[in-house]
Amino acid sequence: MKNSPSQLPAAVRGTLCDALRGVLTDGLDLHSQIKVAHWNIKGPQFAALHPLFDQFATDLATQNDTVAERILTLGGMAVGTARHIAKNSRLSDYPQDVTRDLEHVKLLADRIGGYLVGVRSTRDLAIEHKDDDTNSVLTDIVTMFEKHAWFLHATLGG
């Protein structure tokens, strides 16, 4: 662990950094999956979903940057190469042959749900260790991506 302005003990910071690296890895993977959906979508809902997916990707890129900076603030190192992501992401791989609009909606709803599982788990760890700042970062992600998931579920009619 590197020096940190955080008052948390080094061991706790290390534990939180490990968990945050999982969130970052999943977030980077999810970002690429959203972009694949954005690029390849076809169907009656193209005009509505194409810009919506791009907004999801933009929001996630911002959140990924915030998570990476939190890791560094806690004294850790952020990782995010394509090889690391492919090896360590907890999300299912995205099929490369999907084009239909509602198929993309379902796939992204499932993957956002999986991403949120990891975010919430890490947030629980932050709460356990009384790290209000990490908790705040992760709560912002949950709030934003629960709303995005709701848009997708509403599009599917459920």
Orientation angle between helical segments 132-155 and 10-40, nearest 10 degrees: 20
Record the pTM.
0.96
Q: ∠ at Cα 34 (28, 40), nearest 5°?
A: 140
As a whole number of angstroms, the distance between CA 87 and CA 101 comes to: 28
3-state secondary structure 90-117: CCCCCCCCCCEHHHHHHHHHHHHHHHHH
Confidence of residue 2 (pLDDT cuts 50, 70, 90): confident
Q: Report residue 152 CA to chain centroid gap.
A: 16
**Domains contained in the chain, CATH given:** 10-155 (1.20.1260.10)
How is residue 27 written in tokens?
């977030």
Coil, helix or strand at residue 79: coil
Orientation angle between helical segments 101-128 and 46-73, nearest 10 degrees: 20
Tens of pLDDT, residue by residue over 4-55, are 888 899 999 999 999 999 999 999 999 999 999 999 999 999 999 999 999 9
What's the pLDDT at 4?
83
Confidence of residue 3 (pLDDT cuts 50, 70, 90): confident
For all residues of the chain together, what is the average pLDDT?
96
For residue 1, pLDDT beyond 80: no
For residue 158, pLDDT beyond 80: no
For residue 153, pLDDT beyond 80: yes
For residue 88, pLDDT beyond 80: yes
Beta bridge pairs of residue 100: 42
Tens of pLDDT, residue by residue over 59-81, are 999 999 999 999 999 999 999 99
